[in-house]
Amino acid sequence: MEAAAPALRTVLVVDSRLCRRVVDLAADQARASGDHAPARELARALEPVYASTSDPAERMAKFESVYRRLFAKWGYEGLLAGALDEFPVVTQSIESIWLKHAERGETAGADLGGANLRQLGILLPAPLCLEPEALRLFLRRELAAVEDTLDPQFGYSPGALLPDLPGAMENLARDRLRLLWGASVDGRLARRYRQYAQLRQERVAEARAAYRSLPAELPERLVETLWSGPRPAYPRLRLWACDNESLLDAFLPGTRPLAAAFVPGSPCPLCGFPVTRVETGWDSQERRTLAALIAGDFSSWRPESGACGRCVEGYAVRAGQWL
């Protein structure tokens, strides 16, 4: 019996490569467990294609047709459409949703594009389709973030987080933004779907890894606040991801490090990397210029908080003080 897919208010396009990978994996998995029926059905459907034409392009098109039909018949299209239909704000705002196979797990995710952000592309690993609960969690996380992005009150803005700083700092800020935003998303999902309550401890573990140089009590407080509280606007999440002092002021007031009491191994107030010392001398005209540039990028930074040597050098290059 074919699984009926819920009606969507947008066009759902599943890439042929994803269909083929999922169907092949499903047949292999069933055969490994002793169920040969799916593999036999696939073989019976493919066999006539070989005899029907010798033209490679025509044969490939017919192969794709077979895989698409079985992808829908075996319930995978309905599974994807059902998860998408849980987010009517998305399906009513998006013109088309494209689902493709993610060759590497780290590339999986959703991305809005097109005119007025009305096209949604989702990369997902084909094996995930064989694990319905894991697939639902993946799609719910991605679509909840897309829902945020589409909400004008969220205030999302694309682009680099730290455009004038080294790429390593941009990557660090993006990782932290994903963590902060993800904790908020998971908390809202847990209120909607009770089975996700256990995700809280996973987020705490991620926060400990991301902020191991900051006060030990920060990860728990951070996740609890984002998990249980109202959704922060994107500019606030971005500020917290880029500026440790703002993060500490928001979640652990009064604990941000000052240079006068700096402990070796503590994080640089700018980049967040553990350092043995920070530079605090801003008396010369050149250093006052650097301090002004830093304050422009980190609104809550104060000169007495200091900055590590690498950050000072980076701003010196930006100010034209280094050749």
Residue ranges of domains in the chain: 11-147, 151-256, 258-323
How far is Cα 293 from Cα 263, in angstroms, rounded to an integer? 25
Q: For residue 99, give the H/E element and its range.
A: strand 96-101
Pairing of strands 109-113, 11-14: unpaired
Structure tokens of 85? 């239909």
DSSP 102: -
Predicted confidence at residue 62, as pLDDT, reads 94
How far is Cα 76 from Cα 82, in angstroms, rounded to an integer? 10
How far is Cα 86 from Cα 148, in angstroms, rounded to an integer? 14
How far is Cα 257 from Cα 248, in angstroms, rounded to an integer? 9
CB count in 10 Å sphere of residue 21: 19
Q: For residue 316, give the H/E element and its range.
A: helix 309-318
DSSP 284: S
Pairing of strands 96-101, 11-14: parallel
Predicted confidence at residue 262, as pLDDT, reads 63
Contacts of 215 (CB under 8 A, 6+ apart): 248, 252, 255
The pTM of the full predicted model, rounded to 2 decimals, is 0.76
With the C-alpha atoms ordered 166, 170, 171, 173, is the resulting torsion angle positive or negative? positive
SS3 148: helix
Q: At what angle do helices 309-318 and 285-297 cross, to 10 degrees?
A: 100
User: What single-letter amino acid sits at 284?
Assistant: S
β-bridge partners, 111: 121
The rounded average pLDDT for each run of 10 residues, N- to C-terminus, in the chain (323 residues) is 50 93 97 96 93 88 95 94 91 91 89 85 95 94 95 92 75 91 97 92 93 85 96 96 86 69 69 80 90 89 88 90 64
User: DSSP states of 178-213 as a string?
Assistant: HHHHHHHHHHHHHHH-GGGTTHHHHHHHHHHHHTTT
